[in-house]
Every structure is written in structure tokens, then in C-alpha cells.
Chain A
Amino acid sequence: MKLEIKNIHKSFDGTEVLHGVSFYATEGSALGLLGRNGAGKTTTIRILMGVFHANDGEVLLDGKPFEPNTHKIGYMPEERGMYPKKKVLEQLIYFGQLRNVSKQEAKENALRLLDKLGIPEYANRKLETLSKGNQQKVQLVQTLINDPEIIILDEPFSGLDPVNSQMLKDLIEEEITRGKLVIFSSHQMGYVEEFCKDIVILNKGDVVLKGELRKIQKEYGDHKLILNANNMTTNDLSNLLESKLKECIRMVEVRKDFVIFEILAGYTKKEITQKVLGLDIDIDVFGDYKPTLTDIFVMKAGDE
């Protein structure tokens, strides 16, 4: 199963907010949709869910136009919302029925998932009496009530404490293992790194980076080294490297704990290592640079 967003354009009141967004997700894996506030993540998801229509472009499932209502989809919107004054189980069954699940099946699924998330005792409580975290769990149960093939989660971890986040994470991972196609947006890069095989970074309505996360990380770390010395600041270290190794490296970033530099073409890692060891510094850290998703995100979507 392949869900593809193809060249999506969307305008609101004459202002284009998505400028030809394209990416795809496949079954049995999760795609992380990343971007700063206002980058167009939620609009993209809403187009995917059919809440909005795109001005141009298309959404395809296995090459055919995608109709959300005709597939088993689980959706957790950014704007959380269920009936606050209704009992948890009662409304979970209702949402299940709306998504073509029989009453009995919806009830069984709801009780199983509530149990899995550690809140079976709240089945017959009014939603408004639950804590925010538990309401979020109920929202996830609602998302999975119809055992969906495609799961779309907009900021699923926002507002959750680490314990509840872990519980949610386990459940989503289980769904991925079961072969589900998962797309989720998040600001919490740690979770995206753990879950997602692929990522898409949106910036001001454009896709600025997409692809397999490991490959991207490798690509961004290639020919880059990190270095820190005990007897000087990273700024001094940067100045030293730029004066002594000017012809064979390029300074990428100076951080508080280390500097990152790139090996210029024509030089090998071995040669650079020898040159660094020849400097009169007390080396604290020296090795390959392995960029985190946050690093990549800041690079691609940070302020210019």
C-alpha cells in the first residue's frame, strides 16, 4: 500500500500556503511530517483526510484517487475533541459505528485498547472527568477503534508526560509492526527518530527535505567530524582549526560542547586525523559527526 501526495497546492483567501507538496508513505512504516509552526503540516494532513480540497495536485492510494471515507482510516486531529459530557465507551462505540464498525466490534476494540493504555476503569466515566493525558489516550483509542489500515496522527504526543508518551509510543509501534501505514506530525524529534523510517520536512509550504531518515542522517554526517579540547573554548578551537587546517577543512558549526567541521575534497579522514593529533591541544572529544534529526531540522527549517 502506497499513499502518495502529489504536487499539492492550497490557498486560503488568495494566499498560497502549500506550494506543490509531494511525498509518499508506505505500509508497515511510519512517515514523520515535520515543520515549524505554520509550515503547512496540518493543512497537508487535512487535505489528506478530505477536510479541505487541494487547489491543485492529488492524493493517490496505490495510484488511484484516495477517498478517505472508503478506507479504514484512523485520524487523530491536532484539535483534540470528543464529547466532554458523554461517557467514554458510549462515544467510542459511536465513532466506531460512524466508521463502519459494528457495535459489538467497536465495544470490544474500545475495551481492549483502553485496557492496553491502562485506563479500563474510565470506560463508563464522562470524558470531561478524565485528566488531559487520559483524554488524549481516549482520543488514540478513538483513532484505532476501527483497526485502521492508515493511521494519521497530528501531534500525538503534545501534552503527554513521558510515561504516557511511552505507552502511546508502544501502541503506535505495535501498529507499525502489524503492517499499518502511519503518518504523524510532531515537534518531538526524539519520537520521530525512534518511529519513522521516512521523514518529510516542510518549511513555509515547501518540502525542503524528504527521504529515508537513516540515509539522510548518514548523508548529513558524511565527511564531517566533531572535535572538542579541554584547554580551550570551542570558539578558540574553531579559530585554531581555521588557521592551521584552512586548506583541508571547512568549519560547519561551532557549538558549546564541540565544533563540527567538514573534510574538503581531496583529503581523507586518516589524513585529517593525523593533522588534528598534531595540534597542540588536549583532545576531549574527536570522532565522526552523527547528526540528530533536530540538527537536520534546524538546518533545513531554521531561520535563514
Chain B
Amino acid sequence: MKQFLYILRWEFLNLVKAKAYIITTVVFIIIALVGFSVPTMMGGIGDSNADTAIVEQDIEKRSYAVYDPTSFLAGADMTLQLYLPNATFVEVNSDDALKQSVTDKKVDAALSIHDGGDFTYYVKNNSLTDTSKYILQETFSQIKRNHAFADAGIDANQVMDIYYSNTVSADTVSLGADATNSMIYTFPLIMLIYMVVVLYGNIIATTVASEKGNRTMELLVTSANSNALIFGKVLAGVLAAILQVGLFVSVSLFAYSINRVSWGGLLDSILNIPMEIIVSFALFGIFGFIFYAFIFGAIGALVSKSEDVNSSATPLTFLFLIIYFVVYFGVMVDPGGVMFTAASMIPLSSPMAMFARMAVVDVPLYQVIVAFILLLVSTVLTGFGAAKIYRRGTLMYGNQVKLSHALKWLRKKD
């Protein structure tokens, strides 16, 4: 136990004192502080009146060329004024003239109105964020309805009054999980686990491989118990990751809380993650990370130099990427599906899937407990397996050993 603590301390201090660690931590903190302060710096995004103001401001600046052979817009000035108070309309007498005015940038866009108000929207470069077409579509639909009311001898204003003054409200009370709120925090948390496992897993593998590369490993395995060595190394990596991620999350929450008004409470659900999700995320996340860290540690022992770690770890990283997508689509598409349920139980995927499943559907407690026990047992077994591979891999230099070959070592005596 003493050896384990010495190794843990040594490895942890080596990791957190490394320049790369300090720099990334500082960068993460700056990103969190600046990222959550952007809305404040820009004057806020959460106010719905502000939203409208921005849209109107955009539209105010827009001018349209209009070719209206059926006189659809005749007598519709009031509606246009109501929906598009600051837009400018310039009448032209042909489609060609219409297109030319757009090409020559005399107007921002152009409308060729067909029979019944359907229209073609011309713009020089179609932008993803251009919402003018939809506003015009809604405006023209209202004009068409007004024409229909007039034809039927009905007062359109009266209809509008009745239409807008007779609405009902509805509340949703979820007795299980609430996917609408939980999505906001579920995806970032899944991504967080993915990033931590891949990033720190590789760091742990590289640490082990570099000890083999500089021939420290033989000295270590003859000075200390190999279980203490691999457990110490892996847990040091886990602690360093928790420290860095913890700092990032804390600073993010702090930055969001002081900028909350500017965000208009948009991310409030992050501050209100249910306790059972937090506990599940922490337990499954930490033990899942340890589980993968042991595998990465064993991979590090199978290569001769740290440069070979990436190629050796690729299959595991790829597998983890597939699991990431399985969980992602499980949350998005089929939260109650068999695949997502199975993923939440299997130790390879439960670190990401179980808390995510708990966030979007109601999961029976026994399933959570069984999945956690499976993960716990797998982690311990993987730890001892990794220690054995670590010890066997110590003196294997030259060509890297395949993981499948290394797994055979687990059945053999040294």
C-alpha cells in the first residue's frame, strides 16, 4: 500500500507539473471564462425583445424588387407595414429586370409573385441564416387569407381578434425523466467522458511506453509490485484528469452563473441537473475512465517506444468512438430501445450510456446497480490483467505485441 501511495504521488505530480498539463488547464479556464462571458460582452442573447429587435434591425435594412403581374399585393399595404415595417419594395415589370436588380446589387433580394401569391425568392448568395423568405412567406399567407376573408364578406380584423384572443396554455409534468431539459446537459457530459477517456487514456499509455523506451520499466518492476505500479499510474492519471476537468467545470459554472442574465437563463438546466444523474455520471464516468485507463496502460506496455502508442491504441479509440455514436443516437433517436438499454449495461459502454439513459428515460434501480457492479468487477479484473500484461510487456522490445497476443498471457504463468 505504501508503494502504491508513493507511485501515485510520483506519477500524479509528474503529470500535473508537466508544462502541457499546466498550459491546457490555463487554456481551458480561459476558454470557459471567455466563452460564458461572450453574451455579456455582446449585450445579451436571452431577452426575447432583444431577439425581435435584432431581426427587425436586419429586415429594416433590406430592400426588395417585386414583379407582381397578378397585383397580389394590391391593397395589402397595411399588412406589409405590420409584418415588415421597415422593408422597401421596388416594383419592376419583368422577371429579367428582377434578376438584374439582384445581380447588380441594387436590392438585397427580389420576389416574383405568381398566381395566388406563391412567389419565387431571388437572392444573389443564399445564406444559411437568411430568414427573410420565411417572414415574407408568412406575410403573403396573411395577405392571401385577407383576400379570402374579403371575398367571403368577412371582416378580417374581427377574425384575427377571435383567433389570437382564444388560446389555451399547457404544462408538462414529467413523472420520470425529462428528455427536453436533460438534452442540454446530457450531450456535453457524454462528450466530456469521451474526451477524457481518449485524451488521458493516451497520456497514460504514453507514460508507460516512455518508461519502457527509456528502460526505467525493468528497474520499476524489480523495485515495486507491478499491481502497485499500474494501479498507481492509472489512478494518478484519473486524479489529474478529475482535477483538470473539475477546474474546467467549476470555472464554467461560475462563469455561467455570473453571466446568467446575459444568457437569459438558456443553460439553466445545467445548474439544475438532478442529483441522481450527477451521482450516476460521477460513478460510471470515473470507474469507466479507470476501466479504459487500465487498457490504455496495458497498450503502453506492449509497444517499445511512445511514438508507437497512437497506432496501437487506434482500435480501442475507434471502438470507443463507435460506442460514443451508439450512445448519442440512443439518446437522440431511440432512448427506450434494446441497443441503448444493452449499451447501458455493458461495461465497455455503460460509462457513457447509463447516466445518459437515466437522463432521458426512467431506468429501474436494479439495472443501475447491476450495471455498476458489472463495471466495478470488470474494472478490477482489467486492472489485474493490465498489471500482468504490464509485467510481461516489460522486457518485450522490438516489434509491438498485438493486444490479442497479450491477452493470451493472462492465461499463462510468467
Give residues in A with beta carbon < 8 Å to B.
46, 49-53, 68-69, 73, 75, 77, 79-84, 86, 94-95, 97-100, 142
A245 to chain B: closest CB distance in Å? 54
* CB proximity of A258 to chain B, nearest CB, Å: 44
Please tell me if B222 contacts chain A, counting CB pairs below 8 Å. Answer: yes
Using Cβ atoms and an 8 Å threshold, which residues of chain A touch B217?
Answer: 81
Are A95 and B413 neighbours in the complex by a CB distance under 8 Å?
A: no
B1-26 Cβ-contact flags toward A at 8 Å (1 or 0): 01100110010001000000000000
Q: Assuming A46-B395, A51-B394, A94-B10, is B219 touching A69 (CB within 8 A)?
A: no
Contacts of B310 in A (CB 8 A): none
* Complex Cα gap A53–B214 (Å): 24
Of chain B, the residue at the smallest CB distance from A76 is B219
B215 touches A81 (CB 8 A): yes
Flag if A80 contacts B6 (CB, 8 Å). no
Residue from the set B10, B223, B225, B391 with the largest chain A CB neighbour count within 10 Å: B223
B7→A83 contact, CB < 8 A: no
Given the known inter-chain contacts A46-B395, A98-B7, A98-B224, please indicate yes or no for A79 contacting B414, CB distance below 8 A: no
Most chain-B CB neighbours within 10 Å: which of A80, A81, A82? A81
CB of B2 within 8 A of CB of A77, answer no
B219–A100 touching, CB < 8 Å = no
CA separation between A81 and B211, bound complex, in Å?
8
* CB contact between B222 and one of A68, A83, A97 (< 8 Å): that residue: A68
Once A51-B395, A68-B222, A75-B222 are accepted as A-B contacts, the answer to whether A100 and B2 lie under 8 Å apart by CB is yes
Interface size grouping (class) on chain B = 20 to 34
Contact among B10, B216, B224 for A82, CB-based, below 8 A: B216
Could you name 11 residue pairs across A and B whose Cβ atoms are closer than 8 Å?
A49-B222, A52-B395, A53-B414, A75-B219, A79-B215, A81-B215, A81-B216, A95-B219, A98-B3, A98-B6, A98-B223
Asked whether, in the complex, the Cβ of A81 is within 8 Å of the Cβ of B218, the reply is yes
CA distance A10 to B395 in the complex (A): 15
Q: Report the tally of A-B residue pairs with Cβ distances under 8 A.
A: 55
Asked whether B221 is an interface residue with its Cβ less than 8 Å from the other chain, the reply is yes
Interfacial chain B residues near A79, Cβ < 8 Å: 215, 218
User: Which residue on chain B has the smallest CB distance to residue A48?
Assistant: B222
With most chain A CB atoms within 10 A of its CB, the pick from B7, B221, B222, B224 is B222
A142: nearest residue on chain B (CB-CB)? B219
Please tell me if the beta carbons of A82 and B221 are within 8 angstroms of each other in the complex. Answer: no
Which chain B residues lie closer than 8 Å to A53 at the CB level?
A: 413-414
**How far, in Å, is B5 (CB) from chain A's closest CB?**
9
Q: Which residues of B contact A75 (CB under 8 A)?
A: 219, 222-223
A94 to B229, CA, bound (A): 13
> Which B residues lie within 8 Å of A46 (CB)?
395
Cβ < 8 Å to A, chain B residues 348-387: none
How far apart are the CA atoms of A274 and B218 in the complex, in Å?
A: 60
Give the chain B neighbours of A86 by CB distance below 8 A: 14
Q: Are B218 and A77 in contact (CB under 8 A)?
A: yes
Within the assembled complex, what's the spacing in Å between the Cα atoms of A69 and B227?
Answer: 13
By a CB distance below 8 angstroms, the chain B residues around A84 are: 214
Query: What is the 8 Å Cβ interface bit string for chain B, positions 114-141, against chain A (1 contact, 0 not)?
Result: 0000000000000000000000000000
> Judging by beta carbons under 8 Å apart, are A83 and B223 in contact?
no
B395 contacts which chain A residues (CB < 8 A)? 46, 51-52
Closest partner residue, chain A, to B220 (CB atom):
A98
**New A-B pairs, 11, CB < 8 Å, besides A77-B218, A81-B211:** A51-B222, A51-B391, A69-B224, A75-B223, A77-B222, A81-B215, A81-B217, A83-B214, A86-B14, A100-B2, A142-B219
The smallest beta-carbon distance between A303 and chain B, in angstroms, is 27
